Amino acid sequence: MKACNYLFALTLALATLLSAGCASLGNHESALDTSLRAYESALRWQRYDVALSLHADPSQVPMPTHLAAIRVTGFDGGPPVFSADGLHAERSVSIRYFHVDYQSERTLADRQQWTYDKDAGQWRITSPFPAFPYE
C-alpha cells in the first residue's frame, strides 16, 4: 500500500511540474503573440519608432531611407516555431505593401527571429528590419 501511495505522490508531483512548464510556455506564447501584434501594427501604421523599440538592440538596426514611400497593407504568417527551451521563436511572414512612388502593391518575405528577454519580461525581435526594396 505504501508503494501505491508513493507512486501516486510521484505521479501527482510530475503532473504538477509538467503543467507548470506548460503554463509557462503558454505565457511565453501569449507574450510573443502580443509582441507580434505590436510589431505588425507599428509597421502597418508607419510607427517605425515603435517597431524599432521592439528590437533587441535598436542601435544596430539599419533603417531603410525610403520608408515614407511604403504603406504596409497586410501580414500573412504562420504560427511561430519555438526552440526547445521556449526562449527563442522563428516565424515566416509575408508582408504586403504599397509603394507610393511606383503605385504598385508588392509582397516581401520576412523571416522573423524573436528572443525572450527575461529581464524585461518581453519578446524582442533579433532579425533585421524588413528590407523593403526601393524599386
- Which CATH number goes with the domain that contains 61? 3.10.450
Confidence class of residue 123 from pLDDT cuts 50, 70 and 90?
Answer: very high
Asked if the structure places residue 130 within a domain, the reply is no
Asked if the structure places residue 78 within a domain, the reply is yes
Which alpha helices (DSSP H) does the chain contain, by range?
2-44, 48-53
Q: What is the largest CA-CA distance in the chain?
A: 79
Asked if the structure places residue 61 within a domain, the reply is yes
pLDDT digits (tens, 9 = 90+) for 13-37: 333 333 334 444 557 688 899 999 9
Which range of residues forms the domain containing residue 104? 2-125
CA-closest candidate to residue 115, choices 49, 23, 22, 31? 31
Q: How far apart are the C-alpha atoms of 3 and 70, rounded to whole Å?
A: 68
Q: Is 102 helix (H, G, I), strand (E, B) or coil?
A: coil
Total domains in the fold of the chain: 1
Asked if the structure places residue 24 within a domain, the reply is yes
The reported pTM is 0.76
Asked if the structure places residue 66 within a domain, the reply is yes
Asked if the structure places residue 133 within a domain, the reply is no
pLDDT digits (tens, 9 = 90+) for 71-108: 999 999 889 999 999 999 999 999 999 999 888 899 99
